[in-house]
Structure 1
């Protein structure tokens, strides 16, 4: 049954529609006045305003009722789409949690997409469309030699708390390496960046994560997990692309943020409901180094993370993000060597790449636009494509 407060949000959507429509055609909305993606699209203004209106103070039963969709159903929905017709093995299962968006003929590179949603929410249409469209945004060489995978990790919606998702991601990573993929990169948005950073730290500091997993005997995590053989350890990720990082799940953000910018309409978490779901009954101090990344330091926790220190990490954040303060704080911690690429989208909101830019690649017309490589003026799509092309 739907909760009373969520029901109230739903029945008041018409008010939001009327308000945003009026603002759009008169003096502009908080979106259209600040970001190019919204200036000529009433649809985007309405959709994001509605999403903002219903988000926050989440209840698991509401999300199960309204949002949950098994990934197999989502893949089936897009199986006959023009967007996916040229994607090899689209929707094919690789292991327990990994599914191909596109499997290249070579095993040169694989890009693993870790979706956002505060660990509560499943993969959404816009996120799947983003992953498919990204294939076409790449230059020919990178496109030919890059596989794209999505990880369907377990959700707190079903009471799967830390470190379940980290364990699943690490197992998937090892399966890829054993399967011949030695050059693995991550792209994540929001909670997906949290997971990517956890994987990167685990591979750089294996003894630390092995020690931590001794507190979770329900996971079959042996001391030799990181060994491929007597001579070889699991390699570290090639690169990290972090879209709107969510790095301190149980720390309430300042609203407005330290810059005093109007964050109305941003989809970043304004409370710590999602973080508390993820934390569960864990001791937050025990898991700190893999949970609250703003409560770490470079020398002890990041100095051995290769993609962070060799110039293979990029952060993209929106100017109007609720969580921007924590992203800035993370950047200050991990950028000691000055190797991180850091981009701020003017007027941008949380994970605009997946929640806003990808909307232009829906349906037949959007699919055709992606297939012909039309990503003109797509801020984050072009940054990501350029970043990957420079790491062929």
Structure 2
């Protein structure tokens, strides 16, 4: 049953729709006036206005009723999408937690693991499938041929799965890839997916620490984490680096964050933390409360120039992401980009919208990613490393 506050938001949906339409044709919406993606798309302005209207005050039962769809059903539906029809083994299950988006036919390809966002609360949406399938076509011919793409459908807090459940599942899939003969692995995540990417990288680099994280839990790592190869690269879109710490307001850059989908509270982070002692799990939870010498010096991709970070100029988490960047960028070789007027995870939730239709999918398949800020940065980053 829906909570009353969320029900009222749904009943009042005509308001943000009408407001967005009026502003679009008059003085412009906040999105339209700040970011290139929205300038000529009424649909995007309406959609983001609606999403912003219903966001916040997250409740698990509301999300179950409105958002949840098992990944098998999403895959079954998306198999008919033009973007998936030309991919090898799309939707094929790899292990208990993961599925192939595209399986390269070359020996020992690079595997790009995509870890979706959603505050660990929400499941993987069709829009995220649009994003990750379209990314295959954004790569150059060499990379597209030599890169497999895998998604991990980790358990979500919507069903009361708390830390370290998700870390255990992701490490298990990572280990299963290595057991299957894959040795070149990149991690790509947006928002909470970036948080998990960093958690995986820390686990492999600091195996004794992660061993302590699982002590006293029902999860037993039946493999040697220290024997796993470190990720070849980390691609972090809108990294959520302090789930249990509220953003400081106003933000220090003085730009308006109105309309951003980043959370103003820590409710999703608290769902993820569960009954864990925050001090005990700090090094895998609040990355802004760590330091390079003790927690990141052994993470290869952070120190050898193979880490990418993208943030939005207007996103609420920009300050914390920037703090983390300065914390880990000891060798001054992390690639860091700020999208002008960008909002939280704009590459996944805004740029990809243009490829959801049949007409848009055709553009992606033809390799037309002109003016796609995030896609082009990510694709170029991968192209150079394959």
The TM-score range, normalised by the shorter chain, is: over 0.9
Distance 1:11 1:80 in 2: 32
Q: CA deviation at 1:387?
A: 0.1
Secondary structure, counterpart of 1:37 in structure 2: helix
Counterpart for residue 152 of structure 2: 151
Q: CA deviation at 1:226?
A: 2.1
Counterpart for residue 5 of structure 2: 5
Q: Does 2:299 match 1:305?
A: yes
Q: TM-score, normalised by structure 1?
A: 0.97
Counterpart for residue 55 of structure 2: 55
Q: Does 2:23 match 1:23?
A: yes
Distance 2:268 2:17 in 1: 27
* Corresponding residue pairs, total: 385
Counterpart for residue 212 of structure 1: 213
Counterpart for residue 314 of structure 2: 320
Q: TM-score, normalised by structure 2?
A: 0.99
Counterpart for residue 226 of structure 1: 225
Secondary structure, counterpart of 2:225 in structure 1: coil
CA contact (8 A) 2:314 2:341 kept: yes
Counterpart for residue 105 of structure 2: 105
Q: CA deviation at 1:272?
A: 0.6
Q: Does 2:383 match 1:361?
A: no
Q: CA deviation at 1:74?
A: 0.4
Q: CA deviation at 1:316?
A: 0.2
Q: Does 2:285 match 1:269?
A: no
Q: Does 2:164 match 1:163?
A: yes
Q: What are the within-5 Å matches in structure 2 for residues 70-149 of structure 1?
A: 70-106=70-106, 107-149=108-150
CA contact (8 A) 2:241 2:285 kept: yes
Distance 1:121 1:81 in 2: 22
Secondary structure, counterpart of 1:136 in structure 2: helix
CA contact (8 A) 1:256 1:263 kept: no
Distance 1:385 1:211 in 2: 36
Counterpart for residue 248 of structure 1: 242
1:244-264: CA deviations, max 9, x gaps?
A: 000100111123311121001
Gaps of 5+ in 2: none
Q: CA deviation at 1:208?
A: 1.1
Q: Does 2:349 match 1:349?
A: no
Counterpart for residue 278 of structure 1: 272
Counterpart for residue 182 of structure 1: 183
Counterpart for residue 230 of structure 1: none
Secondary structure, counterpart of 1:122 in structure 2: coil
Distance 1:157 1:297 in 2: 31
Secondary structure, counterpart of 1:203 in structure 2: helix
Counterpart for residue 67 of structure 1: 67
1:69-101: CA deviations, max 9, x gaps?
A: 000100111112211111001000000111000
Counterpart for residue 42 of structure 2: 42
Distance 2:56 2:385 in 1: 38
Distance 1:324 1:215 in 2: 35
Distance 1:376 1:124 in 2: 24
Secondary structure, counterpart of 1:212 in structure 2: helix
Distance 1:364 1:39 in 2: 22
Distance 1:307 1:60 in 2: 35
CA contact (8 A) 2:369 2:376 kept: yes
Counterpart for residue 370 of structure 1: 364
Distance 2:81 2:311 in 1: 30
Q: CA deviation at 1:364?
A: 1.1
Distance 2:169 2:55 in 1: 27
**Pairwise CA RMSD of aligned residues?**
0.8
Counterpart for residue 289 of structure 1: 283
CA contact (8 A) 1:24 1:32 kept: yes
Secondary structure, counterpart of 1:147 in structure 2: strand
Distance 2:178 2:84 in 1: 26
CA contact (8 A) 2:24 2:42 kept: yes
Secondary structure, counterpart of 1:121 in structure 2: coil
Q: CA deviation at 1:172?
A: 0.5
CA contact (8 A) 2:32 2:45 kept: yes
Q: CA deviation at 1:59?
A: 0.5
CA contact (8 A) 1:114 1:186 kept: yes
CA contact (8 A) 1:268 1:321 kept: yes
CA contact (8 A) 1:266 1:349 kept: yes
Distance 1:244 1:334 in 2: 16
CA contact (8 A) 2:78 2:126 kept: no
